[in-house]
Amino acid sequence: MERKEIIERLKEGSPEELFKEADRVRKTYLDDEVHIRGIIEFSNYCCRSCLYCGLRRENENIRRYRMLPDEIIKLANEITQCGVKTIVLQSGDDFGFSQKVLCRIIEKIKEENPEIAITLSIGERPLDDYKAFKDVGADRYLLKHETANLKLYERFHPGQTLKRRLQILEYLKKLDYQIGAGNIVGLPNQTLEDLADDILLMKRLDVDMAGIGPFISQKDTPLRNHPSGNLDLTLKVLALTRIVTKYTHLPATTALSTLNPTYGQVLAFRSGANVIMPDFTPEEERKNYIIYDNKTRVDLEKAKTIILEAGRKISTARGDSLKWKRHQKAFASI
């Protein structure tokens, strides 16, 4: 699909046809199974200053926490015992967790649960760290590009560049990680052209996963007064990403559920999504992981209910990227 057509479709007044089309593409490439990824938000320390995010280092209104390595490992084991086959380790960009400590955590989780996949979502680090994490068993890496608009990127991420973000994603791919990017829909001054560029960028990067969610304001950030993103527009971006990128794993994000607790995620499943990421962070910590305000609690039970409500099946597989699997096979045959 050309940029012009993507923009036209983002403008469509009644997007039902677009959602149905995305749903057909999803069914063709990925069938009806929904993959569950269990997320542990193990630290809310962050050295960045992203203008939209409540974890930004300038925010003094949240209590900062770091879970202990043993707590993280124990929780990962419990998640595995629930039948969940992917553990997502997420945190702010926290250098309080050294390469060595993170490697020990990854290694131990893999040693005790060899059948599961580990996804890291821990931001920008020295390249050497990514290699070390892969060597001890990390399988996937989420690093949302947030916005493909260079000017907006630099405005919302003081001290960071889109160029670096993309270099890291390319490097992660070279290391043979399954990679995830993704954007925020509804940032101040973001245009439909920018959203089309987000979709085309994810296509160009040939991502295995993409997290697409609406902007939701957080009261302790500079964007506190900006209105939240629009549900239909977010679903349109999701649907078009499905149509353009085909096999990609696309979560029905918690941000969509926060925007519309009753229908947000079910609608996402009907518009191209095939993944859900229930939160396993212990209550004490979770209440301080305030990326944005009023974050909905999507636990395992709720995730399963939503999958069934959307008329879909709960996958029992690890849910690796099909693109990545094909690539592995091609290599094995050389």
Binding residues (CB under 6 A) for ligand 5AD: these are: 52-53, 144, 146, 184, 213, 215-216, 218, 255, 291-292
Report H helices in 12-159: 16-30, 69-81, 99-112, 127-135, 150-156
The long-range contacts involving 302-305, CB below 8 angstroms and separated by at least 24 positions, are 302/278, 303/36, 303/276, 303/277, 303/278, 304/36
Q: Which is nearer to ligand 5AD, 26 or 144 (CB)?
A: 144
| Nearest distance, CB of residue 180 and ligand 5AD, angstroms | 10
| Nearest distance, CB of residue 132 and ligand 5AD, angstroms | 22
| Nearest distance, CB of residue 91 and ligand 5AD, angstroms | 10
How many Cβ atoms from other residues are within 10 Å of residue 28's Cβ? 10
Q: How far is CA 22 from CA 181, 248, 272, in A?
A: 19, 12, 5
Q: Which is nearer to ligand 5AD, 108 or 144 (CB)?
A: 144
| Nearest distance, CB of residue 124 and ligand 5AD, angstroms | 11
Q: Which is nearer to ligand 5AD, 53 or 231 (CB)?
A: 53
| Nearest distance, CB of residue 28 and ligand 5AD, angstroms | 28
Q: Which is nearer to ligand 5AD, 184 or 231 (CB)?
A: 184
| Nearest distance, CB of residue 183 and ligand 5AD, angstroms | 7
**CA-based end-to-end distance of the chain:** 33
Q: Which is nearer to ligand 5AD, 69 or 188 (CB)?
A: 188
CA-based nearest residue to 167, from 143, 200, 151: 143
Three-class SS of 270-332: CCCCCEECCECCCHHHHCCCCCCCCCCCCCHHHHHHHHHHCCCEECCCCCCCHHHHHHHHHHH
Q: Which is nearer to ligand 5AD, 110 or 141 (CB)?
A: 141
| Nearest distance, CB of residue 54 and ligand 5AD, angstroms | 7
Q: Which is nearer to ligand 5AD, 44 or 80 (CB)?
A: 44
For the chain, the residue count is: 334
Q: Which is nearer to ligand 5AD, 34 or 55 (CB)?
A: 55
DSSP string, 33-49: EEEEEEEEEEE------
Farthest CA pair distance, the chain? 56
**Three-class DSSP category at 237:** helix
Q: How far apart (Å, rounded) are the C-alpha atoms in residues 325 and 82? A: 25
Return the structure tokens found at 302: 């709720």
